[in-house]
Amino acid sequence: MAWLAVSLHATIRVQRNGFALDVDLEVGAGETVAVLGPNGSGKTTLLRALAGLIRIEGRVELDGEVLDDSAAGRHVLTEDRRVGLVFQDHVLFPHMTVLDNVAFGLRRDRIRIASEWLARAGLSDKAGAMPRELSGGQAQRVALLRTLATEPRLLLLDEPLSALDVTIRAEVRRELARQLSGFQGVRILVTHDPLEAIALADMLVVLEQGKIVQTGSPAEVTARPRSRFVADLAGVNLLRGRGRGRQVELDSGAMLTAAEAGEGDVFAVIHPRAVALYLARPEGTPRNVWRGRAEDLDLQGERVRVRLSGTVPLVAEVTPSAVRELQLDAGAEVWVAVKATEISVYRA
Amino acid sequence: MAWLAVSLHATIRVQRNGFALDVDLEVGAGETVAVLGPNGSGKTTLLRALAGLIRIEGRVELDGEVLDDSAAGRHVLTEDRRVGLVFQDHVLFPHMTVLDNVAFGLRRDRIRIASEWLARAGLSDKAGAMPRELSGGQAQRVALLRTLATEPRLLLLDEPLSALDVTIRAEVRRELARQLSGFQGVRILVTHDPLEAIALADMLVVLEQGKIVQTGSPAEVTARPRSRFVADLAGVNLLRGRGRGRQVELDSGAMLTAAEAGEGDVFAVIHPRAVALYLARPEGTPRNVWRGRAEDLDLQGERVRVRLSGTVPLVAEVTPSAVRELQLDAGAEVWVAVKATEISVYRA
Amino acid sequence: MSQARIPAPVLALAAAGLLFFLLPLAGLIVRAPWGQVGPALVAPETATALGLSLFCSVTATAVALVLGIPLAVVLSRTQGTLRSVLRALTTLPMVLPPVVGGVALFLAFGRRGLVGEPLHQAFGIQIPFTTAAAVIAETFVAMPFLVIAVEGGLRSMDHRYEEAARALGAGSWRVFARVTLPLLRPAIFSGAVLCWARALGEFGATITFAGNLPGRTQTIPLAVYVALETRPEGAIALSLILLAVSLAILIGMRDRWLGSP
Amino acid sequence: MSQARIPAPVLALAAAGLLFFLLPLAGLIVRAPWGQVGPALVAPETATALGLSLFCSVTATAVALVLGIPLAVVLSRTQGTLRSVLRALTTLPMVLPPVVGGVALFLAFGRRGLVGEPLHQAFGIQIPFTTAAAVIAETFVAMPFLVIAVEGGLRSMDHRYEEAARALGAGSWRVFARVTLPLLRPAIFSGAVLCWARALGEFGATITFAGNLPGRTQTIPLAVYVALETRPEGAIALSLILLAVSLAILIGMRDRWLGSP
Amino acid sequence: GGGVGGGPPSNITVFAAASLQPAFDKIAARVKSQYYLATTFNYAGTQTLTTQLIQGAQADVFASADTAHMTTVQNGGLVGGTTSVFAHNKLEIAVERGNPKRIHSLADLARSGLVVVLADPSVPAGKYAQEALANAHVTVHPASLEPQVTGVLSKVALGEADAGIVYVSDIVTSGKVDGIAIPDAENVIADYSIARLNSAWNRAGADEFFAYVLSSQGQAILSGAGFETV
Ligand SMILES: Nc1ncnc2c1ncn2[C@@H]1O[C@H](COP(=O)(O)OP(=O)(O)OP(=O)(O)O)[C@@H](O)[C@H]1O
Ligand SMILES: Nc1ncnc2c1ncn2[C@@H]1O[C@H](COP(=O)(O)OP(=O)(O)OP(=O)(O)O)[C@@H](O)[C@H]1O
Ligand SMILES: [Mg+2]
Ligand SMILES: [Mg+2]
């Protein structure tokens, strides 16, 4: 593999009983990569490998410096890597004040520089507090400052917001976005939250069972999910089948008509909003019409998500007034229609 | 206070150094109450008090039976209350199989009844598994079954879904909704997630610093938030001021024109979608026009939230295309307009 | 795993610490009268004393478990001064010179003792100089280790399991037997090992309170003491046998049993 | 808090357990030769022996801390069989009859010992029969308690603090000194208390390896033993003084220091 | 008691000073073959035995390493017959095998640079050692005052002490050290005392054992173990 002029090149293999991580990653300077994936897919393992906390097979090169090279027997210790690591639940040193926590990673002028970071974040009044006296949001912000203050070349964030309250989370996310925009190195962010990923990342990497199953810009990934997990994240229906001209034959046997389908194994994506529900069989343009049964209804803000079973299991998103008009209830039988133009088909 | 013919009456006071819980609660049979509130507001304390795990001042009466009455010195032990308690992170007994966990609370025919519950939930194949072999979602579902199997009169759920993956959460929420619909007792659900509260609850109770600050149906509460916390939950702008006819004088001194305002201390709610942004001063109907500055932008699905500072600090919600047209950027100066009819004002 | 390196000075001190333990043991082994180990091993008295040692130390550990776990449960529930006082009282048998501990046991359980006297007069029961006395002496000296280990386990236990069990309708006994005890297993086991090891090496309180009667109260440490008087080499050979047996038992115990709770 | 009730049988056993500890102590107090306590208290030898006891036990604890914490750190990093073996080796001084422990110390640090002989011949240093010997004997017997407690603390510690420190660029020494040690404080403290208590009561290894010389190596347990020969009442009075001092020290220690990690 | 050819062999319990073990074990073997009388020993320091007897221990015979403790036991009303001195023990200087430090008299013990270990004056051996040193007008600075004679002996045997003052019988039993005789003019004699106890369950057996110890066969065994006979 030729090493391009980008900032992080990593080929990482970790073998554990019953689990193997096998990831190639290239990230440009100043880019933010969001790593997404189900529980146990190896996200934390990947960050720990990059931080040097676990020994790997493979090679990690950061800004031209080789941090790991199992072939050459090279392994730079975590403390010598200049990487920053932020954990899900802050992990502030419980026996030190906030100021000492922020100063911990600094070399000289420690107290002055740490105070400045706290001041910039508006946390000066907490400098003398112990971590247990902080709220969750404050603690996570301090943890972020503590890491940023060391000016790492590679910033690794392991679900930095997931332990926070929904209401604080937006605030801390804003602060994180601001802090990250001023940070020059490579950033890798593990998250469960698609909004967080889309808001903060230039590139998404989707891990499943230790392998990268999809990668690309947030728009690319959500537009063309390649797994159930990504489809759930993007909130769309993902179907799999074989393309035949403009038709897609689903694995269940049902046929789908799309604007364009191609040949061979394909994915088909249907946005829930594009799924229309009727009490009687609709006449007119929609090419795809089936019977279905509303399994359950889920109020989400100003929309209702209806899970449908039947020939093609789908989720539809309708307005509450539509629910009233259709007298939709769990168990109701409906007609389901999707316009051919609303179905996006691409190669599997 | 007269005790009505409803199922749970509780007057609970708990005093801890630096924190006091003081709550009156009445819940009808078969009702689900969602308790919301910031971290440390006393939600868990309230559930623990109802479960009898902490001694209280006051009185708790369930279905006519007095469980606690500090005046009369009465305190029924947790194990004799027939309450069910589900924790955030399942707390399955790690040394017992799934089946033994579910059978733990049963009196006779334990194995048969437990097996039936597992079968109904489609978890029969996990009966012999140990809790550590379950995924997070499975474990939480088993914890729920374990509690429901004891047929409690009062079901207490402390953030039962918050430890789960976003993708599993929807599934477990559906199952929870199904299970709860078959449950006859009183249900009290602590949650951080407004969607969860709205999806599952008949009544919301908002706690702040140990006191109930608002209560009512989900629609009532979100329509008329009475605190910053509830406004954030509902995703709306909440302002406070004094009503003068159709005008509201905000605490900052700015004036707001609404359809109707009344007199005295009032709240004013503005939905972010109702906040329009312009590059030039808009001419026409909007009565409320100010200058503002976009502090930051937050992409949320297909909408962008813009946090504005200026005369009246607000959050606006606009489409991505509007952002492009306005060339909005953090720091951009804009005109902000809100129609008088979009401002809902009510007594503080 | 690439754990944090251990700093060199720490490694050096650890080596010194290990050496400090190993040198005396090495001394015993190097200077051991190997010629005597064989005869000592086959001598019938050795087998008797070893059997008695194992019996007494295991029984003492069992008694300590039965009395000590409940005591630790109660201790872990106390707070403030009461806790300090109870904890200090349970630690005292460690501080008491064992010979005085033996005298104290006479004063309590001897024929003239606080409990022993009525016991003797009512039922003719005499505790001193019996195998029971050896067990009591070992229990008295070794039980504090178990209590302190179990109490530590209780304090660091997640009490929500007990709360969950109560909410499921389990009464106090069911919670204790089915939830608390199983969850405490690692702490109980590591405390029991400490207790057993201490009981196995007990000498002072045993010889005073139980006497030195072969086959009845003469455990290995007592046999070693007597042998030291007349044939020191035999005494060392005997100690080596005890060490080898304990080492085998300690190593044989599964690592997972010894893990922290 | 309304914690789970303690089941009645558990309470009863706990009471029995406490009684089992308290009865012998009560016996000592009830039958104490109170007339002798006054004279024993003011006797200059008592003050000397008490001072020496405290000095030796505190120094032994300090040495155990310096050597034992590093040893525990290394132990906690080992796995599998090596771990079992090292752990068993550190537990052996508990099993070894203390008198044999003293002999083993001679074989290592005595004038003819593995280390002591070269030391003696090169520098003329003699360890036995000195206060240093008493400290060594107490350390040998008491250090296992510290090592085992600290190792337990290390195993149940959250290692992400150390990882966070490393990611912040802290080298191994800085991680150890600024993060590991402070986080271990509760385990270290409770181990140190056990170690100190055991050292304070040490008799067999001390009398063997350090001898019994008033003012130099005669700690309270030795003085008690000697006094038992001629004036048993005085010996009990002396023991009571030791108990009272230890009780005061143990109770005086702050509860929070003793908490689990 | 069990007579010759009589019923089942009977049994006695003897509380004996630990230094008597070699001699008494032999005596017990003889008594067993001659009288079908089994003996259970509780060997410990005389003081420990005294404590145990005063605390109500049951035993048939008590053999003390001095007369003082026997008097204590007698004053406690525990002695059931006569007490009798059955052996004497003289002091000797114990030195390492081959006497590398060339110690020939008590006076040599005062040499500087020597590590001398004595028994504590609270035990008979220590008391006698002090008397002997006083008789010889020698002042010694001991490294340790051992509460048990064994302590003195084992320290000399291990080479950790250069010399100590112990009983002749100890040196004979030990076989690990050399003995340097102390002239009778300076020496002190210890008396070993034996008695049947009140708490004896087997009076006849106790008396048989008592008599055997004082008999010529018994005395011969004691003499072989380094004691002086009465
Ligand atoms: N210390 C460990 N020892 C052995 N296996 C482990 C260890 N930590 C994690 N694993 C296993 O490695 C795999 C990857 O775990 P990892 O923690 O990297 O997943 P993750 O994607 O971060 O999951 P989550 O979303 O739950 O944080 C899982 O199968 C897990 O069970
Ligand atoms: N065991 C305890 N001892 C003392 N104070 C406590 C204890 N548990 C909670 N508190 C305090 O009581 C208050 C209420 O805590 P509680 O756990 O009920 O809040 P909560 O609303 O459940 O918060 P969260 O959203 O974080 O779960 C807080 O101030 C907390 O610090
Ligand atoms: Mg993870
Ligand atoms: Mg809570």
Chain B residues whose CB is inside 8 A of the D2 CB are 52-55, 75, 77-78
H or E element that contains E70? helix E68-75
Query: What separation in angstroms does the CA of C89 have from each of A59, B274, C141, D54, E145?
Result: 59, 72, 13, 19, 33
Chain C residues whose CB is inside 8 A of the E53 CB are none
Global pTM? 0.82
Q: Pick from D167, D175, D185: which is nearest to A85 by CB?
A: D167
Residue type, B126: K
Q: Is E3 exposed, middle or buried (0-12, 13-18, 19+ CB in 10 A)?
A: exposed
> Is the per-residue pLDDT at E4 higher than 60?
no
Mean pLDDT of D241-247: 88
How high does pLDDT run on average in chain E?
A: 90
Segment D87-136, tens digit of pLDDT: 888 888 888 888 888 889 999 999 888 998 998 899 988 899 999 999 99
Specify the pLDDT at position C261: 33
Which two three-digit tokens encode residue C141? 């000296």
Distance from CA of C232 to the nearest CA of D (A): 10
Give the best residue of E12, E39, E49, E52 to mutate against chain C (max C CB count within 10 A).
E52
Mean pLDDT of C36-43: 81
Q: Is the Cβ–Cβ distance between D187 and D147 less than 8 Å?
A: no
In sequence order, which residues have a C-beta less than 8 Å from that of residue A91 and are 6 or more positions away? A143, D158, D160, D161, D164
Q: D168: nearest CA in chain A?
A: A105
- Among B41, B20, B14, B12, residue whose Cα is nearest residue B209: B41
Count Cβ neighbours within 10 Å for each residue of A17-53 and write b for 16 or more, e otherwise. Answer: eeeebbbebbbeeebbbbbbbbebbbbbbbbbbbbbb
Q: How many other CB atoms are there within 10 angstroms of residue D72's CB atom?
A: 27
CA distance A215 to A217: 7
Give domain limits for chain A: 6-92+134-234, 238-347
Specify the pLDDT at position E178: 94
Mean pLDDT of A100-127: 93
Specify the pLDDT at position A5: 36
Q: How many other CB atoms are there within 10 angstroms of residue B169's CB atom?
A: 21
Ligand lying closest to the C-alpha of residue B207: 2
Q: Looking at B326-340, C62-76, D187-201, which range is the least confident one?
A: B326-340
Q: What is the CA radius of gyration of chain A?
A: 24
Q: Domain B238-347, CATH 2.40.50.100 — does that match?
A: yes
> Is the per-residue pLDDT at A4 higher than 50?
no
Give the best residue of C1, C2, C3 to mutate against chain A (max A CB count within 10 A).
C2
Contact: D165, A104; criterion CB under 8 Å: yes
Query: β-pairing, E61-64 with E10-17?
Result: parallel
For residues A181 and E198, the model is more confident at E198
Which two three-digit tokens encode residue B348? 């503080």
Residue nearest to atom 2 of ligand 2 (CA): B16
Q: A159: nearest CA in chain B?
A: B165
For residues A46 and D249, the model is more confident at A46
> Is the per-residue pLDDT at A199 higher than 80?
no
Segment B194-237, tens digit of pLDDT: 777 877 888 999 999 999 999 998 888 888 899 888 888 888 89
Residue nearest to atom 3 of ligand 1 (CA): A16
Segment A233-259, tens digit of pLDDT: 788 899 999 988 888 988 888 888 888
Q: B75: nearest CA in chain D?
A: D2
Specify the pLDDT at position A79: 92
Which two three-digit tokens encode residue A83? 């990487």
| Touching partners of E (3+ C-beta pairs < 8 Å) | C, D
Q: Is the Cβ–Cβ distance between A176 and A15 less than 8 Å?
A: no
Specify the pLDDT at position A318: 85
Q: Counting atoms of ligand 2 from 1, which one is nearest the CA of B45?
A: 18
Q: Is the Cβ–Cβ distance between B232 and A167 less than 8 Å?
A: yes
- Among E116, E151, E113, E112, residue whose Cα is nearest residue E130: E116
Which two three-digit tokens encode residue B21? 């819980």
How high does pLDDT run on average in chain D?
A: 87
Ligand 1: residues whose CB is within 6 Å? A 16, 19, 37, 39-45
Contact: D222, E147; criterion CB under 8 Å: yes
Which two three-digit tokens encode residue D8? 């009645």
- Report residue C3's pLDDT band, with 50, 70 and 90 as the boundaries: low
Specify the pLDDT at position E105: 94
Chain D residues whose CB is inside 8 A of the E140 CB are none
Chain A residues whose CB is inside 8 A of the B193 CB are 166
Segment A261-289, tens digit of pLDDT: 778 899 999 988 889 888 888 877 667 88
**What are the start-end ranges of the H helices in A152-305?**
166-181, 194-200, 218-223, 228-234
Q: How many other CB atoms are there within 10 angstroms of residue B227's CB atom?
A: 16
E touches A, CB cut-off 8 Å, minimum 3 pairs: no
In sequence order, which residues have a C-beta less than 8 Å from that of residue B5 and are 6 or more positions away? none
Q: C170: nearest CA in chain D?
A: D4
Segment B254-311, tens digit of pLDDT: 888 888 877 889 999 998 888 988 888 887 766 788 888 888 777 666 678 888 988 8
- Report residue B4's pLDDT band, with 50, 70 and 90 as the boundaries: very low
Specify the pLDDT at position B280: 83
- Helix, strand or coil for residue A190? strand
CATH number, domain C58-217: 1.10.3720.10
Q: How many other CB atoms are there within 10 angstroms of residue D114's CB atom?
A: 17
- Helix, strand or coil for residue C56? helix
Q: Is the Cβ–Cβ distance between C129 and C123 less than 8 Å?
A: no
Specify the pLDDT at position E55: 82
Specify the pLDDT at position A137: 79
Contact: D1, B78; criterion CB under 8 Å: no
Q: Is the Cβ–Cβ distance between B16 and B46 less than 8 Å?
A: no
Which two three-digit tokens encode residue C133? 């006395």
Q: Is the Cβ–Cβ distance between E199 and E59 less than 8 Å?
A: yes
Specify the pLDDT at position D72: 93
Q: Is B197 exposed, middle or buried (0-12, 13-18, 19+ CB in 10 A)?
A: buried
CA distance B315 to E103: 103
CATH topology of domain A6-92+134-234: Rossmann fold (3.40.50)
In testing the pocket of ligand 1, which one of A36, A43, A191 has its CB within 8 Å of the most ligand atoms?
A43
- Phi and psi at residue D124, to the nearest 5°: 70, 15
The answer to whether the CB of B16 is under 6 A from ligand 2 is: yes
Angle of CA points A295, A299, A302, to nearest 5°: 135
Q: What is the CA radius of gyration of chain C?
A: 21
Specify the pLDDT at position A1: 34
Mean pLDDT of A147-160: 91
Q: Is the Cβ–Cβ distance between A186 and A221 less than 8 Å?
A: no
Q: Is the Cβ–Cβ distance between D90 and C190 less than 8 Å?
A: no
| Interface predicted TM-score (ipTM) over 0.85 | no
In testing the pocket of ligand 2, which one of B15, B44, B54, B207 has its CB within 8 Å of the most ligand atoms?
B44
How far, in Å, from the CA of A158 to the mean position of ligand 3? Answer: 7
Q: Looking at A5-14, A165-174, A301-310, B155-164, which range is the least confident one?
A: A165-174
Mean pLDDT of B29-46: 88
Specify the pLDDT at position B6: 46
Distance from CA of E226 to the nearest CA of C (A): 13
H or E element that contains B69? strand B65-69
Segment B294-308, tens digit of pLDDT: 887 776 666 788 889
Residue nearest to atom 29 of ligand 1 (CA): A40
> Is the per-residue pLDDT at C1 higher than 50?
no
Specify the pLDDT at position C125: 86
Angle of CA points A263, A266, A269, to nearest 5°: 130
H or E element that contains E50? helix E46-54
CA distance A24 to A58: 9
Angle of CA points B179, B182, B186, to nearest 5°: 90
Q: Is A324 exposed, middle or buried (0-12, 13-18, 19+ CB in 10 A)?
A: exposed
Segment B164-199, tens digit of pLDDT: 766 677 777 777 887 777 777 889 999 877 777 877
Residue nearest to atom 13 of ligand 2 (CA): B40
Q: Looking at B155-164, B321-330, C103-112, C126-135, which range is the least confident one?
A: B321-330
Q: Pick from A53, A94, A146: which is nearest to D168 by CB?
A: A146
In sequence order, which residues have a C-beta less than 8 Å from that of residue B123 and are 6 or more positions away? B98, B138, B141, B142, B145
